[in-house]
Structure 1
Amino acid sequence: MSTETVRVGASDEAVERRREQRGWYFYDWACSVYSTSVLTVFLGPYLTSVAESAADADGFVHPLGIPVRAGSFFAYSVSLSVILAVVVMPLVGSAADRSGRKKPLLAAAAYTGAAATTGMFFLDGDRYLLGGLLLIVANAAQSVAMMLYNAYLPQIAPPEERDAVSSRGWAFGYAAGSLVLVANLVLYSAHDSFGVSETTAVRICLAAAGLWWGAFTLVPLRRLRDRRSKAAGAAGAGAEAGATSAGLRQLVATVRDMRRHPLTLAFLLAYLIYNDGIQTVISQASVYGSEELGLGQSTLIGAVLLVQVLAVAGALTMGRLARAYGAKRTILGSLVAWTVTLGAGYFLPAGAPVWFFVLAAGIGLVLGGSQALSRSLFSHLVPPGKEAEYFSAYEMSDRGMSWLGPLLFGVTYQLTGSYRSAIISLVAFFVIGFALLARVPVRRAIEGAGNPVPERI
């Protein structure tokens, strides 16, 4: 084979890889609208109001005969979605690795979530049970789909490209979230001008997120391609039958397999801790702003939009920093920035939206980058052929999946009666996560997983 032929083949492979990467970015573009417009902004307050309209004189609703405060129904629904996702993700991840066919599973999860989100248009009156069911399905499906999406990263990007590719994916997601949130805010704020009620405007915003999710998922489904891994080829029919085992049993099996790669497990532990802090800040910042600082809904939504816009620049900037200083050092720097930001948040004066916007800017600048680089760094630590299975454990603390942080936030508030104490308590996640991550020798971890070590990591 001539040198020219080899060069042409390598060039064609690079072109195909770039095309596949661009398709991969578009899944973040598709699904991030759910995280931003539905989970972060509109659904929590709206589902709570629907539950309150169905509540008895004491403020309780009774799903399956269980008395639940109407104000807690949204939080409990999110918790149930986490439990469902924890059971399903390892099962789907194992099946994806064994079969080598991630794309059909990604399509099934994405369109299940998109359909459930679109169905939220019918959430009106006192249909709180319908809203809870759709939230549980959509949130669990989002987690399963993101696990499969993340598992493509080691396959579509060589080690030296992963930080940049992962950062671009996050940037695409935040850009889409910002774009749709602007459109939603126009509709919501000027609903009278459009001839619809406020509740109808909210329902349109919820359903539009589902339609957006489903429409743009077509791009990655056309461009991504499945690769039959060595693990898939060796698995045989017996492994396929094993894929029907319980999800929790599969999760235990995945963790046991990780024990053969203790440094990968050490990084995952650090990530699960500091990212639980990140997710809790995202979900509780609006509560802190409204209840402790006395800020209005328009201010809070504007702050969410600012976070989305700056997260695009933050993700791309931190991707460049990772090329210069390495992903691990850059992530550690972002955790310091998170700690400083929360410390500043503790001292924010009430009724001062300008300072809340400054805090939102600080969160936005470190949010996307810390998450994008964590994903790319973890992809180096996954043994070949185990991508979906390992990312099922990684996804346990991703979008909408945190549980320990909200628990600490709630308990701290219950004991102190102060949201300032609750928000500062989250510093513990970043301090502990920093200490654990700093101790992980990532080069040895990558070698131990059987992967090539990038020049700078």
Structure 2
Amino acid sequence: MKIKNKKDVFVWSLYDFANSTYATIIVAFVFAVFFKNVVSEEKPEGDFYWSLGINISMIISAVLNPVCGAIADLSSNKKKFLFFFTLLCAIPTSLMYFTGTGTIFFALLLFILSNIGFQTGMTFYDAFIPEIGTPEEYNKISGIGYAVGYIGSLISVFLVFPLKDNPNLLFLITGFLIILFSLPIFLGLKEKKHNVINEKINYIKYGINKVKNSLKNIGKTPDLKNFLISFFFYIDSVNTIIFFAGIFASTTLGFSITQLAIFFILVQITALIGSLLFSKLGDKLGLLKALNINLFFWVIIILSIFFFVDKDSYVNIAGTEIHLFYIIGSFAGLFLGSTQSLSRALMSKLLPLESKAEFFGFYALMDKTSTLIGPLLFGSVSALSGGDQKLAVLTVGMLFIFGFFFLNKIKTVR
């Protein structure tokens, strides 16, 4: 199936490129390490401050997402809200150039603000999908967005090598790239106007009341309710795997920085392939079946890590010793982007068109709140088991089974 509105889809997808640059450099890779090793001078409390920054930003984003979504639907001003949160992400990111040894609270404040902008802006970005394509195209459009995002992640990783000795400059460049690649969506994508209320109204009060009403409506829509519950569980596992893959590899497997970089590049490449592959499979098999396949293989991946991966688990391929975690991680990458992409496409099909931004707020709410639970579960199991991170991986991975159960209670979308 070919996409009719290719120009708008391309313009829209470049925002995924911008966002992925932030996610890679700031959240997943460079700034996190910089904060621990340089800003907090490798002190033990550095881990606490970093986790505090993540929790504060995710809680605020979780609260803002559904309210902002409702307001955006009412005023048909998704682009204005998206622009505000994009700047909230890009400007503090650029200001990280001025962080350094001892600037803990300044660096933490910049991270909290930028992550709120990053996380909340995605609500408005996702809500454009029903405007740039038909329901039959949602899956492919979502897959294209994630694929472009992983290209952005790959380019970001390669930027790290020439700037590894000057991370502050890398933060400044990252802020610039966020703005640069978000410009097309603001300049080239027209937002559809519908049911705009011209009279003066308290948007905040309306948004809160709308959210309360939406909670009731979600309860009355079994498929939407079951999907959001399912999404809460399985995306919890996916997010925790993203946050702790590097920590697991360095702590349990003893990977060096170079090995971690190679691992990250491999995962990004296979994630790009997976986004495109499952975009086609979603059209052929149906979104629900394609997502079920994803969850099945996630369980296989978790079990493989638990039973077969350790420091010495190398395999010989064509005369070269390769760590098994490279192979399993590359395989997992196929389902990393596709799970997120298929979820976004399925959500687009389930939600009422007139309240798309509002309900995408709840979609994001499930994502953000689950992120608070998964890492805590991983850390608690690891601590209580004397540092057994493999057991922690297994425990978090079991949440996929709960997600699978509720996903298969959906009846109207296949």
TM-score tier after normalising by the smaller chain length: over 0.9
Structure 2 residue 72 is the aligned partner of structure 1 residue 96:
yes
Structure 2 residue 31 is the aligned partner of structure 1 residue 43:
yes
Match of 2:95 among 109, 119, 126: 119
* Pairing of 1:306-385 with structure 2 (within 5 A): 306-346=266-306, 347-351=308-312, 352=314, 354-385=323-354
Structure 2 residue 22 is the aligned partner of structure 1 residue 34:
yes
Give the Å deviation of 1:258.
1.8
Name the CA distance, whole Å, in 2 between partners of 1:54 and 1:295: 19
What is the DSSP-based 3-state SS (H/G/I as helix, E as strand, rest coil) of the residue aligned with 2:310? coil
Alpha carbons 2:96, 2:107 under 8 Å: kept:
yes
Which amino acid in the other structure matches residue 359 of structure 1? I
Name the CA distance, whole Å, in 1 between partners of 2:375 and 2:311: 22
Q: 1:310 to 1:186 in 2, by over 3 A?
A: farther
Match of 1:420 among 390, 397, 411: 390
Query: Share of identical aligned residues, percent?
Result: 25
Match of 2:199 among 237, 250, 266: 237
Where structure 2 has 5 or more consecutive residues not aligned to the other structure, the ranges are: 315-321
Give the Å deviation of 1:205.
2.1
**Structure 1 vs Structure 2 CA RMSD:** 2.0
The match for 2:253 is: 293
Give the Å deviation of 1:248.
6.8
Give the Å deviation of 1:52.
2.9
Structure 2 residue 196 is the aligned partner of structure 1 residue 223:
no
Give the Å deviation of 1:123.
1.1
What is the DSSP-based 3-state SS (H/G/I as helix, E as strand, rest coil) of the residue aligned with 2:141? helix
Which amino acid in the other structure matches residue 76 of structure 2? G
Q: 1:397 to 1:280 in 2, by over 3 A?
A: farther
Alpha carbons 1:270, 1:437 under 8 Å: kept:
yes
Alpha carbons 1:118, 1:211 under 8 Å: kept:
yes
Give the Å deviation of 1:247.
7.3
Structure 2 residue 185 is the aligned partner of structure 1 residue 209:
no
* Pairing of 1:135-154 with structure 2 (within 5 A): 135-154=111-130
When normalised by structure 2's length, the TM-score is: 0.92
Cα deviation, 1:80-138, whole Å, max 9, x if unaligned, reads: 00111122222221111000111111111112101111111111121011111111111
Cα deviation, 1:194-221, whole Å, max 9, x if unaligned, reads: xxxx3xx222222222111111110111
Q: 1:249 to 1:420 in 2, by over 3 A?
A: farther
Match of 1:256 among 216, 226, 229: 216
Give the Å deviation of 1:254.
3.1
Give the Å deviation of 1:51.
4.6
Greater CA drift, 251-260 or 27-36: 251-260
The match for 1:66 is: none
Name the CA distance, whole Å, in 1 between partners of 2:167 and 2:412: 46
Give the Å deviation of 1:411.
1.2
Name the CA distance, whole Å, in 1 between partners of 2:142 and 2:183: 20
The match for 2:318 is: none
The match for 2:317 is: none
Q: 1:117 to 1:397 in 2, by over 3 A?
A: farther
Name the CA distance, whole Å, in 1 between partners of 2:285 and 2:109: 45
What is the DSSP-based 3-state SS (H/G/I as helix, E as strand, rest coil) of the residue aligned with 1:76? helix
Name the CA distance, whole Å, in 1 between partners of 2:267 and 2:207: 35
Match of 2:360 among 391, 394, 397: 391
Cα deviation, 1:46-81, whole Å, max 9, x if unaligned, reads: 1122453396xxx5xxxxxxxxx2221111100000
Alpha carbons 1:29, 1:173 under 8 Å: kept:
yes
Alpha carbons 1:37, 1:209 under 8 Å: kept:
yes
Name the CA distance, whole Å, in 1 between partners of 2:60 and 2:397: 29
Which amino acid in the other structure matches residue 79 of structure 2? K
What is the DSSP-based 3-state SS (H/G/I as helix, E as strand, rest coil) of the residue aligned with 2:199? helix
Name the CA distance, whole Å, in 2 between partners of 1:264 and 1:236: 31
Which amino acid in the other structure matches residue 264 of structure 1? L
The match for 1:284 is: 244
Name the CA distance, whole Å, in 1 between partners of 2:143 and 2:88: 26
Which amino acid in the other structure matches residue 324 of structure 2? W
Name the CA distance, whole Å, in 2 between partners of 1:219 and 1:394: 25
Q: 1:401 to 1:216 in 2, by over 3 A?
A: farther
Name the CA distance, whole Å, in 1 between partners of 2:206 and 2:41: 38
Cα deviation, 1:244-290, whole Å, max 9, x if unaligned, reads: 23977764443223223232111111011101110100100111111
Alpha carbons 1:270, 1:434 under 8 Å: kept:
yes
Q: 1:207 to 1:398 in 2, by over 3 A?
A: farther
How many residue pairs end up in the alignment? 402
Q: 1:178 to 1:138 in 2, by over 3 A?
A: same
Larger Rg: 1
Match of 2:81 among 98, 105, 116: 105
Give the Å deviation of 1:422.
0.5
When normalised by structure 1's length, the TM-score is: 0.84
The match for 1:447 is: none
Name the CA distance, whole Å, in 1 between partners of 2:125 and 2:351: 15
